[in-house]
């Protein structure tokens, strides 16, 4: 189905305010590194977060590269002397690649040549796996996801003119899909189900040799289809799927260089699968990181970003608190960093997200620090994963769309507002072949070290379902990324047949519109116009070929035109001038 993207601009005001919550530096004894990467993951299964750091030691230009794994012993970090090769300009990610219940590690970078390593975790001892993956990795990204719902982790690799998805066929064999991504350098990418159909799509950005490139690739039953839309082509920074406005779908935040090597930050809101740009309201940075997490336990996604700021020699490192879509600068004692990285994680299990950062300071000196979030009790706690609630688990079916709802889970230390959720949906009991959870069913043992697909919401919407009976469950994930057992399984049935989304059969004009909006179709349908808060502003029944919707009295801004035909919903973005 063709998808249309409308772009408009309105402001998210950047408010500089000293917040009450503090971040305090912890003397963790971590190695100072730049051109570096950090990743939290519980590799030893004791329900607290361990840490891997890779990069250049000392000063910019050093030939001393290291990769270190630190075991978290009740909040004290111990170098396990894993003996891993050192790399810089690196990217790493934990994931249970071999399905044995513990987290393995993939690492790419330059040492100084391009390298890719996959290390098997056997009881806390890391050994290199033999694979057929290509040795490319400098200034790139690796990310695990079960894109084909077969129960194992596949790999997105984008680095130094190699960009593809590699299907995990077991025993170290990875088959390239030849997905048709452009070959690029300075790559940025992320997995996320932006269209709510149960499979993971990709946002991919980089420099293709001509200039900046960025696009979303929709996963259509394992085939990745470019949207070919007008995203800003940024590179050498970071990009992440994140539900920035709390409406239950994934938006896009990115920051990096444009073709003129000027740093820019961009935010694209997702409304029913249509993206439009709004001003990010943050400082623009490149050669750094963007990473989101709920640092204040209020149920929305806050931001840490770092990197090179416009202007000679200017560096930044800023925490932004998200207050209803408004980003407030949160004061924290973090110096400006470049060639940098950062990651949120509750290292002391006290119920709030702490932050580790790494990179080069303006002096060229390598820097790595752990900052404890003072929101919680600030003492190490033994962690127990969240447990399912005894409340009601419901499935609301509307044609070929279902909304799954569940009550808030409880946790021994994480507030209910900050518990992440992870859903599976399958065509048979105990199966996740429609929505994969990247976790074992029913135990909930996590195969990746990150939040779930339901994020912070207590509901999950799934569309484009074929007729049949489906089974689902949900688990809670705390801020140490520890996953609890899945809830008792619930089923629902889809009975609609044959109806498909019909956006391509509708003409809406003019758009933007002033006082009148014309709708042209070949069939009757119910029409509603919703504002950005989801409130119905206009409703009518369209019974003939040409229909008029009167917009007088509506405030200028963005609206969603919702059309329903025989239980099937389609949506278009409308701009009221």
Within a 13 Å sphere around the CA of 95, how many CA atoms are in the beta-carbon half? Answer: 19
**Domain ranges in the chain?**
116-374, 394-494, 506-576
120-152 burial, b at 16+ Cβ within 10 Å, e below that, comes to bbeeeebeebebebbebbbbbbbbbbbbbbbbb
Q: Do domains 394-494 and 506-576 have the same CATH topology?
A: yes
Answer for the pair 318, 265: CB distance below 8 angstroms, yes or no.
no
The pLDDT tens digits for 47-86 are: 999 999 999 999 999 999 999 999 999 999 999 999 999 9
The pLDDT tens digits for 504-525 are: 567 788 878 888 888 887 777 7
The rounded distance, in Å, linking the Cα atoms of 66 and 320 is 31
Q: Which of 191, 160, 161, 155 is nearest to 175 (CA)?
A: 155
pTM value is: 0.85
Both structure tokens of 163: 């960009």
Q: What sign results for the dihedral spanned by CA atoms 190, 192, 194, 198?
A: positive
For residue 417, what is the DSSP state? Answer: G
CATH classification (class only), 506-576: mainly beta
Q: Bigger pLDDT: 504 or 538?
A: 538
491-503 burial, b at 16+ Cβ within 10 Å, e below that, comes to ebebebeeeebbb
Q: Which of 118, 91, 93 is nearest to 35 (CA)?
A: 91
Answer for the pair 305, 288: CB distance below 8 angstroms, yes or no.
yes
Q: Looking at the domain 394-494, which fold is it?
A: Immunoglobulin-like (2.60.40)
The rounded distance, in Å, linking the Cα atoms of 322 and 221 is 35
- SS3 (DSSP) at 505: helix
Q: What sign results for the dihedral spanned by CA atoms 192, 195, 196, 198?
A: negative
Q: Which residues pair with 52 in a beta bridge?
A: 39, 69
The pLDDT tens digits for 166-194 are: 999 999 999 999 999 999 999 999 999 99
Q: Is the pLDDT of residue 565 over 90?
A: no
Answer for the pair 425, 434: CB distance below 8 angstroms, yes or no.
yes
Q: What is the mean pLDDT of the chain?
A: 89
Q: Kindly report the CA angle at 37 between 359 and 107, in degrees rounded to 5?
A: 150
- What was the pLDDT predicted at 313? 76
Q: Which residues pair with 491 in a beta bridge?
A: 471
CA dihedral of 149, 345, 239, 319, whole degrees rounded to 10: 160
The rounded distance, in Å, linking the Cα atoms of 165 and 133 is 11
Q: Is the pLDDT of residue 500 over 60?
A: no
Q: What is the DSSP string of 97-162?
A: SSSSSS-EEEEEEESSSEEEEEEEEETTEEEEPP----S--TT-EEEEE-TTSSSS-EEEEEETTE
Both structure tokens of 500: 């498909």
Q: Which of 253, 251, 243 is nearest to 188 (CA)?
A: 253
Q: Which of 290, 160, 309 is nearest to 238 (CA)?
A: 290
What is the CATH code of the structural domain delimited by 116-374? 2.130.10.130
- What was the pLDDT predicted at 230? 77
The pLDDT tens digits for 80-118 are: 999 999 999 999 999 999 999 999 999 999 977 899 999
Residue 195 phi, psi dihedral angles, 5° rounding: -105, 5
The pLDDT tens digits for 314-371 are: 999 999 999 877 889 998 999 999 999 999 999 999 999 999 999 999 999 999 999 9
The rounded distance, in Å, linking the Cα atoms of 510 and 540 is 19
């Amino acid at each position: 189905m063709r998808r249309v993207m409308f772009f408009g601009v309105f402001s998210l005001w950047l408010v500089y305010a000293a917040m009450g919550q503090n971040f305090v530096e912890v003397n963790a004894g971590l190695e100072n590194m730049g051109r570096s990467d950090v990743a939290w993951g519980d590799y030893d299964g004791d329900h607290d977060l361990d840490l891997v750091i890779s990069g250049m030691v000392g000063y910019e230009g050093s030939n001393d590269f290291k990769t270190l794994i630190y075991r978290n012993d009740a909040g004290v970090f111990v170098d396990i002397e894993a003996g891993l090769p050192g790399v810089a300009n690196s990217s790493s990610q934990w994931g249970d690649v071999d399905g044995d219940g513990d987290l393995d590690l993939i690492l790419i970078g330059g040492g100084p040549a391009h390298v890719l390593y996959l290390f098997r975790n056997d009881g806390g001892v890391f050994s290199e796996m033999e694979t057929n993956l290509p040795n490319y990795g400098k200034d790139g990204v690796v990310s695990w996801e079960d894109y084909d719902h077969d129960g194992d982790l596949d790999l997105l690799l984008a680095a130094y003119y190699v960009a593809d998805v590699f299907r995990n066929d077991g025993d170290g064999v990875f088959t390239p899909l030849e997905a048709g991504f452009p070959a690029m350098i300075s790559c940025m990418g992320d997995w996320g189900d932006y269209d709510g159909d149960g499979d993971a799509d990709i946002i991919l950005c980089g420099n293709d040799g001509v200039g900046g490139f960025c696009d979303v690739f929709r996963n259509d039953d394992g085939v990745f289809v470019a949207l070919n839309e007008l995203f800003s082509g940024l590179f050498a920074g970071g990009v992440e799927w994140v539900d920035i406005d709390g409406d239950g779908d994934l938006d896009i935040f990115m920051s990096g260089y444009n073709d003129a090597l000027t740093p820019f930050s961009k935010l694209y809101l997702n409304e029913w699968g249509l993206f439009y740009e709004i001003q990010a309201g943050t400082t623009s940075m490149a050669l750094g990181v963007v990473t989101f997490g709920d640092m204040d336990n209020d149920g929305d996604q806050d931001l840490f970003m770092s990197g090179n700021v416009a202007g000679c020699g200017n560096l930044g490192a800023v925490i932004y608190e998200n207050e209803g879509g408004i980003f407030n600068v949160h004061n924290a004692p973090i110096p400006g960093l470049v060639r940098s990285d950062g990651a949120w994680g509750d290292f002391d299990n006290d119920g709030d997200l702490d932050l580790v950062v790494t990179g080069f300071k303006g002096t060229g000196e390598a820097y790595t620090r752990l900052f404890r979030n003072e929101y919680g009790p600030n003492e190490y706690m033994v962690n127990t994963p969240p447990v399912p609630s005894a409340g009601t688990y419901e499935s609301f079916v509307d044609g070929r769309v279902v909304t799954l709802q569940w009550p808030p889970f409880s946790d021994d230390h994480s507030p209910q507002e900050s518990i992440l959720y992870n859903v599976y949906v399958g065509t048979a009991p105990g199966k996740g072949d429609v929505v994969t959870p990247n976790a074992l069913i029913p135990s909930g043992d996590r195969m990746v070290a990150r939040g779930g697909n339901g994020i912070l919401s207590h509901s999950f919407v799934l569309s484009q379902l074929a007729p049949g009976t489906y089974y689902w469950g949900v688990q809670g994930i705390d801020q140490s990324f520890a996953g609890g057992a899945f809830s008792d399984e619930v089923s629902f049935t889809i009975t609609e047949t044959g109806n498909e989304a019909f956006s391509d059969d509708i003409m809406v004009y003019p758009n933007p519109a002033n006082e009148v909006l014309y709708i042209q179709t070949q069939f009757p349908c119910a029409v509603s116009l919703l504002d950005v808060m989801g409130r119905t502003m206009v409703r009518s029944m369209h019974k003939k070929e040409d229909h008029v919707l009167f917009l007088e009295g509506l405030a200028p801004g963005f609206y969603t035109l919702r059309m329903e035909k025989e239980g099937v919903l389609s949506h278009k973005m409308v701009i009221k001038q």
